[in-house]
Amino acid sequence: MRFVDEATIKVASGKGGNGCASLRREANMPKGGPDGGDGGRGGDLIFRGSSRLMSLYDFRLKRMYGAKNGEQGMGRDRYGRAADDLIVDLPVGTLIYEITEKDDGTTDEKLIADLVGDGTEIIICKGGKGGRGNLHFKSSTNRTPRYAEPGFPGEEKTIRLELKILADVGLLGLPSAGKSTFISKISAARPKIAAYPFTTLVPNLGVIEDDNFNRMVIADIPGLIEGASEGRGLGITFLKHVERNRFLVHILAAEDVNRDDPTDGYAMLNQELREYNAELSDKPQIKVINKIDTLTDEELADMKAKVAVSGEKIFFISALTGDGIEPLLERMWQQLADLNE
């Protein structure tokens, strides 16, 4: 299934059933009073967050969702049945915007819900109330009313859905930094991996557990390049997913490291984060240099020595061989525990 993180759809709740205008006619009661029952309530249109879903792809295929109408009332005081609500599952992390058309022909949109919890339900369109049967309109001056109330209409809305992936950790780095290899090594995720830029075209999620059954959700954000905040490369298409990550693991490939100052390679992407959203650059970061298996012992020792002099804490790993991954995972668990306090 293709990853899609935006879609525009139309939704509607059900109309209430009409009330019934009926007069009792029985052998022993030829001119009986009104006995028309009420119409049933129309179904609500409900959005529900689901952790099983990871894309809005289905909403590009089907763009209209409507709950059923309530049944109309019947004679002999029988009420129409209320319609079932229509529950539409969305990925957890979906923002729901209502689009309205203004008098000048332009449109405006308003955020009405943010599905941040699995199983969270939001009523988007309330079902119409059923109309009252004619038994409600009997009075001292009108003993046999022949009028019943029509059912009330449901609501109709145009909705824009925007998915921002919820994860504890976001893997940040240039294309081919080795993020996909890292997430495949530590979790059950199986992203596409190859030795060329932009292999990862969609965010991949991995889940890991520690010995105490604590879970950590890790998002492999597609590689960003200089100018991403302005839309270059994969641009802002994926920068927005970083907003929902609690902390970042910033990975540099060894071949991209400045051998004179191994710490300055993180500045470029951090600047892109600041330009897109200043708050992103304030997220906690764990810095990593990957692909140390491509370095000689002397090159690795020299790089570690220069990092030590700088006072920075950088983890050196090989996602391919697994070297250095355990200390990095320990730091990630500690960071998550600190944020949970």
Domain boundary pick from 113, 147, 163:
163
Contact 118, 51 (CB under 8 A): yes
Same domain, yes or no, for 145 and 173?
no
Instruction: Examine residue 1 and state whether it is found in any structural domain, yes or no.
Output: no
Residue 254 lies in a domain: yes
Q: What is the CATH number of the domain that holds 287?
A: 3.40.50.300
Report d(CA 138, CA 143) in Å as an integer: 5
Chain position carrying tokens 């090159």: 299
In terms of pLDDT, which residue wins out, 193 or 168?
A: 168
Do residues 155 and 173 share a domain?
no
> What percentage of residues in the chain have a pLDDT greater than 90?
49
Q: Please list the residues that pair with 208 across neighbouring strands.
A: 216
CATH number of the domain that 157 lies in?
2.70.210.12
Q: Residue 227: what pLDDT? A: 43
Give the Cα separation of 92 and 33 in Å (integer): 54
Q: Are residues 213 and 309 in the same domain?
A: yes
Structure tokens belonging to residue 237: 């298409």
Considering the domain architecture, whether residues 126 and 183 belong to the same structural domain is answered as no
pLDDT digits (tens, 9 = 90+) for 242-264: 777 889 999 999 998 988 898 88
Residue 232 tokens, joined: 């270059």
Residue range 326-336: average pLDDT? 93
Over the chain, what is the mean pLDDT? Answer: 85
Q: Is the pLDDT of residue 230 over 60?
A: no
CB 332 within 8 A of CB 169: yes
Which tens digits make up the pLDDT trace of 268-296?
888 878 887 778 778 899 999 999 999 99
Residue 286 in domain = yes
My answer on whether 172 and 147 are in the same domain is: no
The 10s digit of each residue's pLDDT in 55-111 is 888 998 899 999 999 999 999 889 999 999 999 999 988 999 999 988 888 889 999
Total-model pTM: 0.70
The residue whose two tokens read 């145009």 is 158
What confidence tier does 235 reach under pLDDT thresholds 50, 70, 90?
A: very low
**pLDDT for residue 2:** 57
| pLDDT value for 195 | 38
Both 176 and 320 in a single domain?
yes
Please check whether residues 293 and 147 belong to one and the same domain.
no
Handedness of CA 337, 338, 340, 341 (dihedral sign): positive
pLDDT at 148 over 60: yes
Structural domain boundaries enclosing 142: 6-163
* Per-residue pLDDT at 121 exceeds 80: yes
Same-domain status, 10 and 159 = yes
Instruction: Give the pLDDT band of residue 299 (cuts 50, 70, 90).
Output: very high
Confidence band of 191 (pLDDT split at 50, 70, 90): very low
| d(C-alpha 336, C-alpha 206), whole Å | 15
Q: Over range 21-43, report the average pLDDT.
A: 85
Q: How many domains does the chain have?
A: 2
Q: What is the mean pLDDT of residues 170-189?
A: 80
As a whole number, mean pLDDT of residues 177-203 equals 59
Structure tokens, 85: 């609500």
Separation between Cα atoms, residue 216 and residue 211, nearest integer Å: 12
Q: Please check the confidence at residue 192 and state whether its pLDDT lies above 60.
A: no
Residues 318 and 229 reside in one and the same domain: yes
Position 190 scores a pLDDT of 43
**Whole-angstrom distance, CA of residue 268 vs CA of residue 281:** 11
> How far is 327 from 55, CA to CA, in rounded Å?
33
Closest by alpha carbon to 80, among 41, 129, 43, 40?
Answer: 40
Q: DSSP secondary-structure letter at 271?
A: H
Which position has the higher pLDDT, 200 or 263? Answer: 263
Give the dihedral sign, CA 43/44/50/56.
positive
What pLDDT is stored for residue 225 in this prediction?
41
Cα gap 160→100, rounded to integer Å? 11
* pLDDT attached to residue 165: 76
